[in-house]
Amino acid sequence: DAGITQSPRHKVTETGTPVTLRCHQTENHRYMYWYRQDPGHGLRLIHYSYGVKDTDKGEVSDGYSVSRSKTEDFLLTLESATSSQTSVYFCAISYRDRGSEAFFGQGTRLTVV
Amino acid sequence: QKEVEQDPGPLSVPEGAIVSLNCTYSNSAFQYFMWYRQYSRKGPELLMYTYSSGNKEDGRFTAQVDKSSKYISLFIRDSQPSDSATYLCAMSAAGGTSYGKLTFGQGTILTVHP
């Protein structure tokens, strides 16, 4: 399972509150990603990281920020949660020397009310 | 128009049937092609990974890529009820900062009934 742990697994929050999701990996991978999954859209890339303090935006980054101060942790923050950010969030890692396939965590189900 | 199009189904087949799942894409920069299987309330699980045109077989699963037509397929032979899941195609460009940055299809919901 590529040693990925996401927390929390479920969260309900109110509109306007900040929320932070955590992705923790145990295998020292440099490459980490946050995706969201919504009906009719598959998975879409939010942000990604190629190492400590090296992050960049993906396809749907508005309203999200990330931080990576340690190799093992990649944090996704919703600065001020909105109902449109209700989704399932997946963290992933990839092995660059093996090509482009990504391996996913179990997901965090976030509901913004 | 989305870069990757996948028929969402749902697709319902009897046990033992051959299943064909398909995706088309528009970005000719895509060089890596993947199929993921996702069970309900679980993360996507990598099923097949290819990077060249042609066929790749793994047990009951065959992935087919036709870059000239921008078309990929996944075939499942002798389908089982345990194959019931959502199947997602994914692809990425090669090189530089493209690794691991996947573009997904919408996913096809497959049910195999006994």
Beta-carbon neighbour count of residue A60 at 10 Å?
A: 18
Give the model confidence (pLDDT) of A18-75 as tens digits. Answer: 999 999 999 888 899 999 999 888 899 999 999 999 999 999 999 999 999 999 999 9
Contacts 24+ apart (CB under 8 A), A80-84: A80/A16, A80/A17, A80/A18, A81/A13, A81/A14, A81/A15, A81/A16, A81/A17, A81/A18, A81/A19, A81/A110, A81/A112, A82/A15, A82/A112, A83/A15, A83/A112, A83/A113
Give the model confidence (pLDDT) of A90-108 as tens digits. Answer: 999 987 666 678 899 999 9
Rg of chain A (C-alpha set)? 13
Q: Using 50, 70 and 90 to split pLDDT, how confident is the model at A11?
A: very high
Q: Contact at 8 Å (CB) between B33 and B49?
A: yes
Over chain B (114 residues), the average pLDDT of each successive run of 10 is 87 97 95 95 94 92 96 97 97 80 94 97
> Which of B4, B34, B105 lies closest to A101 in CB terms?
B34
B:74-103 residues touching chain A, CB 8 A cutoff: 88, 90, 92, 94, 97-103
Q: Give me the pLDDT at residue A27, please.
A: 86
Look over chain B and give the mean of its residue pLDDT values, rounded to a whole number: 93
Q: Contact at 8 Å (CB) between B54 and B65?
A: yes
DSSP string spanning A40-81?
TTEEEEEEEEEETTEEEE-TT-TTEEEEEEETTEEEEEESS-
Report the distance separating Cα B101 and Cα B86, nearest Å.
Answer: 20
Identity of the amino acid at B28: S
Report the distance separating Cα B49 and Cα B56, nearest Å.
Answer: 8
> What are the residues of chain A with a beta carbon less than 8 Å away from any beta carbon of chain B?
31, 33, 35, 40-45, 48, 50, 56, 58, 90, 92-94, 96, 99-107, 109
> Which of A100, A103, A105 lies closest to B99 in CB terms?
A100
Q: Give me the pLDDT at residue A45, please.
A: 96
